[in-house]
């Protein structure tokens, strides 16, 4: 009889462990917004594609607010990686500046540094 109670106890404890593990897995995604400089719809595509690296589930840039919304898995990718990826595509983020070399290669309509004019 004691053995059965012990067994039931073990089963209950392991069920708790499994369910808390499952909860942790779903918790591992984070949403963040940060500033990325850009001008037009082409910038939007470029920024979103650049930010969509491994570990990033969603990247959405808003032309009006200049904010890039990112849903990512911190265990797979760091925020710095995302900033770097966007900067490498030619767009300044609030943390990481794009190199002049890449910036110069952007189409003229995307030149956000010399007097930002949206269109």
Where does this chain bind Cu ion (CB under 5 A)?
39-40, 42-43, 110
CA 52 from chain centre, in angstroms, equals: 7
Q: Give the span between the Cα atoms of 31 and 34, in whole angstroms.
A: 10
CA 119/CA 44 separation, integer angstroms: 13
In the bound state with Cu ion, the residue whose beta carbon lies nearer, of 72 and 85, is: 85
Least separation in angstroms between residue 64's CB and Cu ion is 14
Nearer to Cu ion, 61 or 72 (CB): 61
Closest CA to 40 of 107, 114, 96: 107
Residue 59 to residue 96: CA distance in whole angstroms: 17
In the bound complex, what is the minimum distance in angstroms from residue 44's beta carbon to Cu ion? 8
Report the nearest approach of Cu ion to the CB of residue 106 (Å). 7
When CB distances to Cu ion are compared, the closest residue is 110
Q: Which residue number, 2 or 108, has a Cβ lying nearer to Cu ion?
A: 108
């Amino acid at each position: 009889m004691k053995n059965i109670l012990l067994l039931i106890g073990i089963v209950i404890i392991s069920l708790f462990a499994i369910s808390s593990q499952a909860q942790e897995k779903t918790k591992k995604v984070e949403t963040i917004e940060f500033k990325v400089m850009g001008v037009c719809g082409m910038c939007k595509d470029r920024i979103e594609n650049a930010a969509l690296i491994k570990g990033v589930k969603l990247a959405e840039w808003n032309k009006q607010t200049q904010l890039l919304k990112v849903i990512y898995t911190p265990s797979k990718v760091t925020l710095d990686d995302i900033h770097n990826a966007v900067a490498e595509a030619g767009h300044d983020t609030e943390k990481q500046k794009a190199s002049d070399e890449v910036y110069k290669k952007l189409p003229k309509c995307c030149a956000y540094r010399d007097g930002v004019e949206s269109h």
